[in-house]
Structure 1
């Protein structure tokens, strides 16, 4: 199911909630990442791959991919093959890398659409090679080595086998090895000893590929945190995901520290305002009781829309010009805000905007605030916003 947009609703319809995506911020963030990479004096003139997997971290893959390319992204990156094919179907050209393929994946379609596919084990490379022979088209293949993350990629002790198979398939004209890459485990923990260890393993993997006669177009290992803090990891390409959307992947930093701006603002509209007496239970389980006579505001957004259920009594929103906590249990479709003032019924009205999170310009909470309150990462806060929330795009020049 694709995310809704404002155009999916009747003209003039009032949206109960929306995720407003600033495409100018996407362009600016991508441009800024290119500047950071250029300014760090890295080993080579590294380009930027904008990672638009998971529907561009919940922001909308196709509009954000276009904006990122307008901001200077040389590559686009996806996890799933269908995500990459969606970009091609939308008319996006240029290099696209996909890296998480099931056995018997849609290799033929990927090859025909000139999408770079990842071989992270010999059996994957064998399937790709067979598909290339069926199609009569040379497949674009990137080899992935597990330098220490322990997730995707070929283990170092099996790397030579993969490299030799790739060299043989390339010599036969079935594939073109366009890249060699890996992924960090702890780049978001600057100084972690695994970073140096992974770079050393990656250097050995690159040397083995070179010795086998492979000449990839791009070598890459840097994700967003490494792109921002580890120049020696830049090589030919940095894969920027979270940073493209204006959030910081590094501890004790803000987006502004890097010249980035959050692109998503999540809002809803007040659905009901009413006075309540003291000691009134609020929402399931009555884990919140009103301290005195108060005004309650109902917000039509809940965990079915992606708000964490454990934001109950801790998540904050901006309503009526002030920040207030979620009162009581976050429900599937709605939550309540206790405004704490029986006269507030005259200040907050049905239809008023409630800002769940945004850049913070107006004093509203940020995705980082929500992540801290609920014990998770800012990645999860934006990515989990579901398809019931329409995406409304601004800055769409």
Structure 2
């Protein structure tokens, strides 16, 4: 393999520190779904723990269990997708906080906790309009009343109330927050006192202080991936932690061939639309094949030269989000496309 993804763990730690300072006194939940946004779960989680992170957002129970294997028992792990009774049993065993946005799932979890003679920490989810699961407002009063009864029984502890927002416009987000505030009042009326209220992800956690509550769930910004159409990483005070490099494997008069292609995660739609970094500055990405691609030649190019597809470099290289904006997607999508077969190389001073 003549390509690799360099992951700068010092940049990760610096980003975490900056995010925590920005959102304080709210707590940071570092989201590590999809193999820590393609950067490698284990090294990212271990570096984050060493930097003082106590909460991890895992998306699904399988990822949550992998995080538990990498951290000590004191770390809190939050997962919001449990697809089976097996997932619920695994969550109970691994002491994972579960996001519950469905009445039937709440009953299934209570049954799993009874069978294990355990009490599960849950975060109840209200649908604030994004429709990414969550209990509908008209069903919410009955839902929180049932959760309160199960808490009295001792099979669950309602540790939080949470939701997702669209982050599409301030007006839509304000409407979602209004629904969320109503849901919190209903939970209080049912006798619940959740310690962790969380609504905001990366963009809202920086731009809207009133959305921070007790905790924010931040993934992309901790990895230095800015929002599409949003401020630059420099403006946000963040550093991209990933750099995707590929070696030159052949040189011709008009092109240099690099060992990275669509099967490795390079979006074919970037062909003739993106610039990449070379030892002589930016050059056009002129063709993308399955396992190799062509870059416009530069004077003195030789086999073994390094081309940077995205990430910090010396030639003003694109970021993952810069490439994403060319093809109408988001930076996370570009980062996640990098094949797990591409080696990850970790640096830490």
Q: TM-score range by the shorter chain?
A: over 0.9
**What is the deviation of 1:338?**
2.4
Alignment of structure 1 residues 24-103 onto 2, 5 Å: 24-38=10-24, 45-93=25-73, 94-103=75-84
Partner residue, 2:303 = 350
Of the structure 1 ranges 215-224 and 248-257, higher mean CA displacement relative to structure 2 is found in 248-257
Query: In structure 2, which of residues 199, 203, 208 is the aligned counterpart of residue 225 of structure 1?
Result: 203
Off by >4 Å, runs of 4+ in structure 1: none
| 1:16 matched residue in structure 2 | 2
1:168 maps to 2:149: yes
Number of equivalenced pairs: 348
Q: Does 1:266 align with 2:225?
A: no
Q: In the TM superposition, what whole-angstrom CA distance separates every residue of 1:226-258 from its partner, at most 9, and x where no partner exists? A: 111000000000000100101222634111112
1:300 match = 259
Task: List runs of 5+ in structure 1 lacking aligned partners.
Answer: 1-14, 39-44, 276-294
Counterpart-to-counterpart distance in 2, 1:318 and 1:128: 51
Q: Provide the TM-score with structure 1 as the length reference.
A: 0.84
**Separation in 2, partners of 1:374, 1:334:** 20
Q: Who is 1:367 aligned against?
A: 320
CA positional deviation for 1:92: 4.2
CA–CA distance in 1 between the matches of 2:86 and 2:140? 22
Larger-gyration structure (1/2): 1
Once the two structures are superposed, residues 63-89 of structure 1 have per-residue CA deviations (whole angstroms, 9 ceiling, x without a partner) of 112222333323100111100000112
The aligned counterpart of 2:296 is: 338
The Cα of 1:360 is off from its aligned counterpart by 5.0
Query: How far apart in 1 are the matches of 2:309 and 2:177?
Result: 40
Cα distance in structure 1, aligned partners of 2:340 and 2:264: 7
Q: Deviations over 1:286-341 (max 9, x none)?
A: xxxxxxxxx3211111111111110111122112321111113x2111111121x6
Aligned-residue RMSD, C-alpha: 1.5
Displacement of 1:188 after TM fit? 5.2
Give the secondary structure class of the aligned counterpart of 1:337: strand
Secondary structure of 2:252 counterpart: strand
Q: 2 CA distance for matches of 1:175 and 1:312?
A: 52
Q: 1:238 aligns with which of 207, 216, 226?
A: 216
The answer as to 2:104 corresponding to 1:123 is yes
Equivalence map 1:106-255=2 (5 Å): 106-185=87-166, 187=167, 189=169, 191=170, 193-249=171-227, 251-255=229-233
Q: Aligned in 2, Cα 1:269/1:250: closer, same or farther, shift over 3 Å?
A: closer
CA offsets 1:192-226 (integer angstroms, 9 cap, x no match): x1111111100110011111111112000010011
Q: 1:306 to 1:92 in 2, by over 3 A?
A: farther
Counterpart-to-counterpart distance in 1, 2:135 and 2:81: 13
SS where residue 146 of structure 1 aligns?
Answer: coil
Checking the alignment, whether the CA contact within 8 Å between 2:7 and 2:39 is kept in structure 1 is yes
Show CA shifts across 1:2-60 (max 9, x none).
xxxxxxxxxxxxx511100011111111110111112xxxxxx2100000001111111
Partner of 1:292: none
Contact 1:179/1:217, CA 8 A, preserved across alignment: yes
Check the 8 A contact 2:100/2:122 in 1, yes or no.
yes
**TM-score with structure 2 length normalisation?**
0.96
CA positional deviation for 1:160: 1.4
**CA distance 1:296–1:383, shift in 2 (3 Å):** same
Paired residue secondary structure (2:127): coil
- Contact 1:305 1:389 (8 Å CA) reproduced: yes
Structure 2: gaps of 5 or more residues: none
Q: In 2, distance between residues paired with 1:360 and 1:369?
A: 14
